[in-house]
Structure 1
Amino acid sequence: MRTRGLVELYGRDQITALHYLGRHARSWSRDQPDRAAELFFLAADAATHAGRLPEARRSARQIREFPGFDRYGQWLLEALDLHEIDAGPWEVFDAAPTAIRESAAHRWVLPMMLNRFCRDPWAAHEFGLAAHEQLRTTGMLAISAIALPWLVELECRLGRWDDAAAHAAEGVDLARDTRQRPREADFHAQLALLAAWRGDTAEARARAEQALQLAVPLHNNLAAAQATWAHQRWLRAMPSRRATGSPPC
C-alpha cells in the first residue's frame, strides 16, 4: 500500500494516493509512529493537490499526536490554513524529529512546505535556494522537483517573477525527466499564472492548456484551479483584442 501510494502521489492520481497513504499511515500509527507521521505528511500533500483540505487538516492533526511531532503537526495545520507559523525555515530544520533528521530529503522539503506563509518570506526564499541546491547537487532530482513549486510560489509572492519563471521552467524539465506528471502540471500552472500576471495571454493560454491536460485526469485540482484562473484571464482579454483587430493569441 505504501509503494502504491507513493507511485500515485508522484506519478498518477492524487485522490488514489490520498487513499493509500492515509490508510497505510493509520495502520502504522500504533507500532511505527515515525513512519506513520511521514506518510501523513505525504497524505496531506496529496489531499492539498486533490483539493480536499479537510482531509489534509485531519492528517496534520494526526501528526500532531505523535511523540516528537507535535510542533511539526501544528505548523502543518497552520500552513494549511494559510497562517504564518511561529518559526523560520532554519528553526523548522533544526527542530526536526529524529526520523526526519535521518531523511536527507524530508529534512529539506518539509521546512519549505511549512514556510509557504511565514513571518519572513525572504528568509524562506534563501532557505529554498539552499534546499534546491542541496537536493540538486546530491543527485536527488526527483525530490528537487517536489520542492521547487514552493520556491516558485515564494518568488511569485516576493515579486521575483523572472526567478519564479526560471525555476518553474526548470521544474517542468525535472518533472518530465523523472516522470512526475502531477508535478509537471504544477509547474505548467505556475507558468500560466506568471504569464497571465504579465499580460502574456498567448503564453498563459498555452501553459494553462498543458496544465489542464495533465492535471484533470490525475485529480490534481490545485494545478487545475490555477490553470483555469490563468485561462479565464486570457479569455477576458479577448474582446479588447478583437476590438483592435489584434489576434486573440
Structure 2
Amino acid sequence: MTRRPAVGELLRGWRERRRLTQLSLSLQADVSARHLSFIETGRSRPTSEMILRLCDELDVPLRERNALLLAGGYAPAFPDHGLDDPSLDAVRSALRQVLEGHEPHPAVVIDKNWNLVEANSGLALFADSVEPSLLEPPINVLRLSLHPGGMAPRVVNLGEWRAHLLTRLERQVAGTGDRAAAELLAELTAYPGGLDREAEPQPHDVVVPLRYRHQEHELSFLSMTAVFGTPLDVTVAELAIESFYPADAATAKFLRSL
C-alpha cells in the first residue's frame, strides 16, 4: 500500500517549489524557523490556521490547500461545486456575458487543465477544418492549437506560437507540480512544428501574436487571460477566460464583416 505524504512533507514540497528557505518562509509567515522545521519533519502537528497561513505565503492553489488540510487531519476549507451547481449561477452568468460581449472576436473559458468549458461563436474561426476527433469532449485548447490535425497547419508563426504556449505550460508544471499538466506538456512537446524561443522581436512588438491563416486571409490576434479576482470555490479558482483581439486593422475589418 502506497504511503500518503504527511502534511509536513507536502508543505516542504511547496516551499521548495517556490524556492524559499525555511528562514525566508518563517519570516514571511511570522513563525519561528524552528517551529517550521518541526512541522516539515513531522515533529509538530500544525493547526489548520497554520496550514492556511503557510499556504497563503506559498500561493498554493485552493484545491491543493484542501489536500493539505486533509493530510493534516482537518476538513477542507474551500467548497468545490460543479459549474452547473445553482450556487454558481452568478458565475455562469458573468462568464456568458463576457463571452457574448466579446463577439465576433474568439473567446473561451478553460479549466486548469486547459479543457474547454464554454466558448463564444468566434471559436468557429479556429475550429474550421480541424480533425473531428479534436472537437470531441473534453476539448483541450492546447491540443487543438498545436496538434498537426488541428490549428497548427494554419498558424503562420507556428514555431513562435508553440514556444509561447509551451513556456506557459512549463511554468504551470513548475509552479504546481500538476501531473496532468506534465503529461500534457510531454504530449505537446512531441508534436512537430519546431520551437522558436529566440525569435527576434521587432521594435513595435509588445506581445507574441497569433498569426492565423483563414481561407485567403492572414489574421493576427493578441491574446489576453482573465481570472476571477477573489475566488473562494475550487472550481471558480481554476477557471480562466482566454480572449483574442485583432492585432491589426485588417483583422479587425475582417472580424467586423462576419
Q: Structure 2 length as normaliser, TM-score?
A: 0.31
Greater helix share, structure number:
1
Greater strand share, structure number:
2
Query: Which is higher, the Rg of structure 1 or of structure 2?
Result: 2
Higher relative contact order (CA 8 A, sep 6+): 2
Q: Structure 1 length as normaliser, TM-score?
A: 0.32
